[in-house]
């Protein structure tokens, strides 16, 4: 097989780590995006109806969930295989993907529950 073939489990482990790290960046971006519009006195995430805030939250959430799912599935697929030289990397990508997907769902749920359009 070719060195960069996706059939190789060590290549899958490498790409799963890239996807999981991208999901970490997405969760951090989603957290910053939501927390900058959070007003503690109103206990609400305040934004204008004409702003691009809500579509931005939807796009970042979808992209982060896609990266987290990719990291999780590829990490799980390559973990435990005999020919995988990077088993630890596969498991790390799997658990990071699960954690970032969970945090993304929690942050989106907080946005949905506390949003206040002005």
Q: What local confidence, expressed as pLDDT, does residue 1 receive?
A: 61
Q: 88: buried, middle or exposed (CB in 10 Å: 19+, 13-18, 0-12)?
A: exposed
Distance (Å, rounded) from C-alpha 87 to C-alpha 52?
Answer: 42
In sequence order, which residues have a C-beta less than 8 Å from that of residue 65 and are 6 or more positions away? Answer: 101, 104, 105
pLDDT of residue 86: 77
Domain presence at residue 102: yes
Residue 103 · residue 96 · CB < 8 Å:
no
* Residue 23 within a domain: yes
Residue 42 in any domain: the answer is: no
Using CA atoms, how far apart are residues 13 and 73, in angstroms rounded to an integer?
10
Q: Which residue has the tokens 């295989």?
A: 81
Please report whether residue 4 resides in a domain.
no
Q: What's the confidence (pLDDT) of residue 3?
A: 73
Domain assignment of residue 98, yes or no: yes
Cβ–Cβ < 8 Å for 72, 91:
no
Residue 38 belongs to some domain of the structure = no
Q: Is residue 62 part of a domain?
A: yes
| Residue 88 resides in a domain | yes
pLDDT values of the chain reduced to their tens digit, one per residue, 118 residues: 677 677 777 888 889 999 999 999 999 999 999 999 999 999 999 999 999 999 999 999 999 999 999 999 999 988 888 778 778 898 999 999 999 999 999 999 999 999 988 8
**How many domains does the structure of the chain reveal?**
1
Tokens of 7: 């059939």
83: containing domain = 9-30+47-117
Number of H helices, E strands in the chain: 3, 3
């Amino acid at each position: 097989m070719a060195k960069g073939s996706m059939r190789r489990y060590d290549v899958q482990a490498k790409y799963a780590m890239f996807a999981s790290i991208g999901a970490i960046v997405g969760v951090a971006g989603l957290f910053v995006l939501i927390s900058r519009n959070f007003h503690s006195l109103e206990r609400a995430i305040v934004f204008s109806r004409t702003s691009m805030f809500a579509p931005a939250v939807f796009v970042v959430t979808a992209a982060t969930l896609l990266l987290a799912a990719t990291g999780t599935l590829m990490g799980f697929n390559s973990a435990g295989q005999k020919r995988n030289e990077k088993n630890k990397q596969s498991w790390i990508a799997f658990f990071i993907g699960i954690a970032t997907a969970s945090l993304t769902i929690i942050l989106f749920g907080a946005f949905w529950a506390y949003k206040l359009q002005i």
